[in-house]
Amino acid sequence: MKEGPDIARIASLIGDPARANILGALMTGKALTATELAGEAGVTVQTASTHLSKLEVGGLTVVRKSGRHKYISLAGPDVAEVLEALMGLAAGAGHMRTRTGPADSVLRDARVCYNHLAGSQGIAMFDAMVARGFLQVNGDVITLTPAGNDFVTGFGVDLAALQRARAPVCRACLDWSARRTHLAGGLGRALLARIEVLGWAKRQSGSRAVRFTTAGRGAFRAQFGIKD
């Protein structure tokens, strides 16, 4: 490709195993220190710092300072969406770095994808909202219907604040584990936050996994009208 965006440069940044591990760790949506990311990547802090510098210059991560500490996070949802899509491509082609086990099962059920709910539960929530007429899908464009406005407002989401924000309210994200759509955007983030506030589910420390309590899973499925 002689003209247009330089995808080779972005691909080379993501393609290094250590940097791929760093980016994967940041898919939790949590900002981490260089020391924490070095542990995730399996490299020294000095080596991690070199990788982090390349990722920042490449526009894939941003660094924020708090006192003496520096915290690294993904540059934005666009980066997370690309990473999730690449995970789906790798999984679909059978390129898995570890054998399937309990951790894999938990991640496939429910996990955080940067800042919204993914996995089987995220897909089920999206499908139920479409089936109930809360979301309208036209290709890759997702819009919240008037009925959907009432539903999410009744669920405790500040829809007016989402509409004032620069980020899109609704956005499609391709789930890596099932190659199906789940809900991203401001609404996806707000719904996951509300689920956590209600105590229905909790993010597992040190992982992307989201674990629902037994009662929380039942309440979640009842609220969104998810059928067994």
Please state, as a whole number, how many other Cβ atoms lie within 10 Å of the Cβ of residue 226: 17
Interacting residues of 143 by C-beta distance below 8 A, sequence separation 6+: 135, 136, 170
**Rounded to 5 degrees, what are φ and ψ at 103?**
-60, -40
Q: Does a structural domain hold residue 157?
A: yes
Q: Does a structural domain hold residue 1?
A: no
**Amino acid at the residue 194:** R
CATH number at 53 reads: 1.10.10.10
Q: 112 and 192 share a domain? A: yes
Q: 149 and 215 share a domain? A: yes
pLDDT of residue 68: 82
Could you give the number of structural domains in the chain?
2
Query: Among 30, 111, 19, which residue's Cα sits nearest to residue 73?
Result: 30
Q: Which two tokens stand for residue 16?
A: 């290094």
Query: What is the residue range of 53's domain?
Result: 7-75
Q: 61 and 94 share a domain? A: no
pLDDT of residue 228: 73
pLDDT of residue 2: 65
Q: Does a structural domain hold residue 143?
A: yes
pLDDT of residue 80: 85
pLDDT of residue 43: 92
pLDDT of residue 92: 64
pLDDT of residue 107: 85
pLDDT of residue 208: 85
Please state, as a whole number, how many other Cβ atoms lie within 10 Å of the Cβ of residue 54: 14
Q: 58 and 84 share a domain? A: no
Q: 124 and 38 share a domain? A: no
Q: Does a structural domain hold residue 205?
A: yes
Q: 111 and 27 share a domain? A: no
Of 51, 75, 99, which residue constitutes the final position of a domain? 75
Q: 99 and 148 share a domain? A: yes
Q: 12 and 111 share a domain? A: no
pLDDT of residue 98: 54
pLDDT of residue 30: 82
Q: 83 and 195 share a domain? A: yes
Of 75, 98, 132, which residue constitutes the final position of a domain? 75
pLDDT of residue 18: 93
Rounded to two decimals, the pTM is: 0.73
Q: Which two tokens stand for residue 80?
A: 């997370």
Q: Which residue blocks in the chain are alpha helix, DSSP H?
A: 7-15, 17-25, 34-41, 45-57, 77-92, 102-109, 119-131, 146-154, 159-164, 185-197, 214-224
Q: Which two tokens stand for residue 186?
A: 């401001």
Task: Please state, in angstroms and rounded to a whole number, the distance separating the CA atoms of residues 198 and 191.
Answer: 11
Of 75, 94, 122, which residue constitutes the final position of a domain? 75
Q: 190 and 138 share a domain? A: yes
Mean pLDDT in consecutive groups of 10 residues from the start of the chain, 228 residues: 76 92 87 91 92 94 88 89 80 59 73 91 96 92 96 96 90 80 93 97 88 97 92
Q: Does a structural domain hold residue 2?
A: no
**Amino acid at the residue 155:** F
